[in-house]
Structure 1
Amino acid sequence: MTNRFSDCTSLLKDHKVLETLSEFSPEFVGSIPIGVDLPQSDIDIICELRPSILKVLESFSSYPGFQLSEKILGNVSSIICRFRLGSEKVEIVTQNISPQKQIAYQHMIIEEKILKDKGETFRLSILEKKKEGKNTEAAFAELLGLEGDPYSSLLEYGEKK
């Protein structure tokens, strides 16, 4: 069995994606780095939004499926860049916040700690919930018995721990 995180990291390195984004403090986040990904999970990268990022994101326009859009994520204005690297989908989200303070990063750190504390059986249960169609945060919230919005309840859970 291959390690998808290592494979994706190599793919990003081969295509110089993180190197291209280096001035924006890129972080590889989401389900792949913590091992709760499904085959169709995106490579998620977050960056800090700065005036020069549009030109840098447009440098990926030669890749298949390239799209650039603006969206509000968690009440934060975001620029999203999507494209494919071979069979992998890449999604780069930039916000005017340091990557370590972005919700995607915070969720990943909280989820990683929960997985470490709860073990392999819990991780496999997360994967089962995701196979049923739940996203990562909803799967964690359900298995932890958290109420309300899974995104905010997971952050609150992490703050309490």
Structure 2
Amino acid sequence: MTNRFSDCTSLLKEHQIFQILSEFSPEFVGSIPIGVELPQSDIDIICELKPSLLKVLDSFSSYPGFQLSEKVLSKVPSIICRFRLGSEKVEIVAQDLPPKKQIAYLHMIIEEKILKEKGDNFRLSVLEKKKSGKNTEEAFAELLGLEGDPYFSLLEYGKRTNE
């Protein structure tokens, strides 16, 4: 775990973000929890989409940079809420799936396993790829020599390696 992860977790607790989202099973995912973040990386939170969620997300409207939108991510309709907590950007993505079945969670688990297996040099290579403009999944896919869509090829890689 990185210091940034601890700092972000403290910030989320301070603002009671997980408490506010508790009925939607929030999960802190993405590059920060696995230590491959860049300074500009968002705090990514996923949760389950339920009818009462929009009202709860609207409670964040007083935060700077608040935006609420709908988008299809990896063929799944999603609600996206963005805002700032101090110097950190927060992005909450809600889908009509339990969070541990969502692609963002699955990617993080696969990436974390790869990082443990391949070590610090691989992690540093991921960070270099990200610094050159790749996102996390693209960086992993390229370093692993995966073909096609990096989002889906990474999931397939995880299945093949028994994740």
Query: TM-score, length-normalised on structure 2?
Result: 0.97
Matched residues in 2 for 1:35 and 1:79: separation? 26
Partner of 2:76: 76
Letter paired with 1:126: V
Partner of 1:17: 17
Matched residues in 2 for 1:78 and 1:130: separation? 25
Matched residues in 1 for 2:114 and 2:11: separation? 28
Letter paired with 1:15: H
Q: Deviations over 1:14-60 (max 9, x none)?
A: 00001100000000000000000000000000000000000000000
Partner of 1:60: 60
Letter paired with 2:21: L
Q: Does 1:105 align with 2:119?
A: no
Partner of 1:127: 127
Q: How does 1:20-59 map to 2 (within 5 A)?
A: 20-59=20-59
Matched residues in 2 for 1:87 and 1:70: separation? 25
Matched residues in 2 for 1:67 and 1:135: separation? 22
Matched residues in 1 for 2:83 and 2:89: separation? 6
- Residue 45 of structure 1 aligns to a residue whose secondary structure is strand
Q: How does 1:90-101 map to 2 (within 5 A)?
A: 90-101=90-101
Matched residues in 2 for 1:18 and 1:144: separation? 34
Matched residues in 1 for 2:149 and 2:69: separation? 25
Matched residues in 1 for 2:133 and 2:87: separation? 21
In structure 1, stretches of 5+ residues that fail to align are: none
Q: Deviations over 1:97-126 (max 9, x none)?
A: 000000000000000000000000000000
Matched residues in 1 for 2:109 and 2:70: separation? 25
Query: CA RMSD for the aligned pairs?
Result: 0.6
- Residue 32 of structure 1 aligns to a residue whose secondary structure is helix
Matched residues in 2 for 1:148 and 1:46: separation? 25
Letter paired with 1:143: L
Letter paired with 2:72: I
- Residue 28 of structure 1 aligns to a residue whose secondary structure is strand
Matched residues in 2 for 1:139 and 1:77: separation? 25
Letter paired with 2:116: K
- Residue 94 of structure 2 aligns to a residue whose secondary structure is strand
